[in-house]
A and B are shown apart, each in its own frame.
Chain A
Amino acid sequence: MKYNVDNKGYYGDFGGAYIPEMLYPNISELEKNYKKISSEPKFINEFNYLLKQYVGRPTPLYYAKRLSKKYKTKIYLKREDLCHTGAHKINNTIGQILLAEKLGKKRIIAETGAGQHGVATATVCALKGLKCIIYMGEIDIIRQSPNVARMKMLGAEVRPAKSGSKTLKDATNEAIRDWINNPTDTHYIIGSVVGPHPYPDMVARFQSVISKEIKKQLKIKEGTPFPDYLIACVGGGSNAAGTFYEYLDETKVKIIAVEAAGKGIETGKSAATSALGKEGIIHGSRTLLMQTEDGQITEPYSISAGLDYPGVGPMHANLFRTKRAEFISISDDEAMTAGLELSQLEGIIPAIETGHAFAIFQQKKFKPNDILVINLSGRGDKDLDTYIDYFKL
């Protein structure tokens, strides 16, 4: 397993657990238990049952006929937008809530950017009857208000993160501080493949159901489990990690990770970590992150709250450094245009995060026989206000 995590929690140079001593007992408890618990038959049975009966998996692998025709290539969409709660995020929260239950935790905390992970966490907490507190940047609370209402309706308390840029990075800081203050009864459900080991690996494993299904579905449709290209948007990188997971070491499958360029890489209003980041430490992980020369973490910008993160998961940092994956930056405008196009060509309104992945065709040409799988990571209902503002609908 060349591109997956090693036994010390690193992906090449990246990963590890750079945490204050206060978090050591929590992280080592998880590290000791996550593989063991998640490989017990009882856990696997319940996980699979919930993914099928509650989340609605397997999600379809849909051949996008009109989009394929327009761009003269073969495009399949992995329909994670059809998951319960509207995005892939719930694959991970189902896994982690079962783990938390097994570890005897009574209180769940989480960070959220776009609110999708917050909703997915609030949902599984309702399902299991556990107390749920979601940290969300004050700015994100405004731009993703429908998701805030959903979380509240599901019984979660939404606490605004008022420090720093008041977005995902700061919500993550607040969640980590909460965990320091509540070290024994609380489990922290991180929503992406970020944070200290074992989180990146644990979240990637729970999301790997996406690529497991793609393999089976593509075999039936195309006679081969291997597409020519896998394409996914990357903020922290959980939908991408799930899409790439089973193919990491299958180097004949090309991997494309799409980042948010915001208003443009050179503008200072961007979240394109591979282009702008340097190696450093963020949220307990050694990875690529956007920072000043002095090592202060800079405030990212993207029109999509879910990609508005100054770092990237260590798995992706390693895919970038080793050139296993190609990283492409997509601007706000390109992503919005692609979102509108997908809506009108295929009748699917994507999340703005996901719209970034579909803007790939503005920058890259594919051959007629190429098989592409794009992860349609989430649906766009939560983004209607932003779409309305942008297109003056």
Chain B
Amino acid sequence: MMNRIDQKFKTQDKILSIYFSAGFPNIDDTRIIIKELESAGVDMIEIGLPFSDPLADGPTIQESSNIAIKNGMSSQKLFNQLKNIRNETSIPLVIMGYFNPILQFGIENFCKKCKDVGIDGLIIPDLPVNVYNNRYKSIFQKYELYNMFLITPQTSEERIRYIDDISKGFIYMVSDASITGAKNKINLNQKKYFNRISKMKLKTPTIIGFGISNSKTYNTAISHSNGAIIGSAFIKFIEKNGTKKIKEFVEKFR
């Protein structure tokens, strides 16, 4: 079977992906959020596995992660919640989490559980490309999981080519030299960077994330790439409105 991420990019031009912290606002919201997002027309979902020390994240995701951990979220808990999720949904599901909790769970065990519940890929921001290639790639392949890499405005062309070469699924384009967090606009330098990447004609689809928060930033992002990821803005929304009005949030981007 073709990986659901590949299927999605094959059939659709521009992808709207939403990130949420599993276990936030309430421990058992995971399945509800996934179903609401899918029925609202989102194309892909990134399930955030919370970590106590998320180095690349701003205050919104730090806070939602802390609350999720206090609520009792863990790798095992998440896998329990996701059991049989594939009976209900066919949307591409990606787990995004820092390396230490995955390492403690056991890499192989983690990958196996991902395959069991129907996860399509992982994003592990602090697992460097070379360490992945040398030590863990074969395990990911064994369980048919994609591992997605990040690029930033500072990533050299040579390194982008290398990452493109070894990437599966998509490349996560970090929109700016920045940690995560909602921003109101995209500046000229960012647009130049988006253009530079789109001119490179990479073989792997690109999705832009970090700082994408409203229809304006979303539309700018997708006009230069294959999609965009919204995280902090969505977390703020469900913090305020709960999980009942998710459709309203998603509609702003369609």
Contact = CB atoms under 8 A, between A and B. Distances in A.
A16 B131 contact: yes
A20 B55 contact: yes
A176 B54 CA distance: 10
Interface string A10-27: 000000111111101100
A20 B72 CA distance: 26
B1 interface: no
A164 interface: yes
Interface in A264-307: 278-284, 291, 293-298
Contacts of B11: none
A22 B177 contact: yes
Interface stretch (A96-104, A179-187, A342-350): A179-187
Given A20-B56, A22-B56, A184-B154, A296 B51 contact: yes
Contacts of B131: 16, 18
A294 B71 CA distance: 13
A294 B75 contact: yes
A69 interface: no
Contacts of B103: 279-281, 295
Interface in B54-108: 55-56, 58-59, 62, 66, 69, 74-76, 98-105
B113 to A, nearest CB: 14
A25 B9 CA distance: 30
A182 B154 CA distance: 11
Given A280-B103, A280-B104, A295-B102, A22 B53 contact: no
Contacts of B74: 294
Given A16-B131, A173-B55, A180 B178 contact: yes
Given A25-B155, A180-B179, A18 B99 contact: yes
B223 interface: no
B53 A282 contact: yes
A169 B55 CA distance: 11
Contacts of A180: 55-56, 177-179
B155 A24 contact: yes
Interface stretch (B120-128, B197-205, B231-239): B120-128
Interface in B109-168: 125-129, 131, 149-152, 154-156, 159
A265 B62 CA distance: 29
B224 to A, nearest CB: 19
Contacts of A283: 53, 55
B7 interface: no
A191 to B, nearest CB: 17
B195 interface: no
B104 A25 contact: no
Nearest to A163: B62
Nearest to B76: A294
Contacts of B179: 177, 180-181
Given A18-B126, A291-B100, A295-B105, A25 B55 contact: no
Looking at A16, A19, A182, A295, which has the most chain B CB atoms within 10 Å of its CB?
Answer: A295
A294 B125 contact: no
B215 interface: no
Contact of B159 (A24, A280, A291): A24
B174 interface: yes
A278 B105 CA distance: 13
Contacts of A182: 177
Contact of A296 (B52, B99, B125): B52
Nearest to A170: B53
A298 B52 CA distance: 8
Contacts of B51: 295-296
A18 B102 contact: no
A167 B146 CA distance: 37
A16 B128 CA distance: 10
B45 to A, nearest CB: 21
Nearest to A280: B100
A297 B98 CA distance: 12
Nearest to B62: A163
A24 B128 contact: yes
Given A164-B53, A284-B55, A295-B75, 12 more contacts: A19-B128, A20-B150, A21-B174, A22-B150, A24-B128, A25-B156, A163-B59, A180-B56, A294-B104, A295-B103, A295-B105, A297-B100
7 contacts: A20-B150, A21-B149, A25-B154, A177-B55, A184-B177, A284-B55, A297-B100
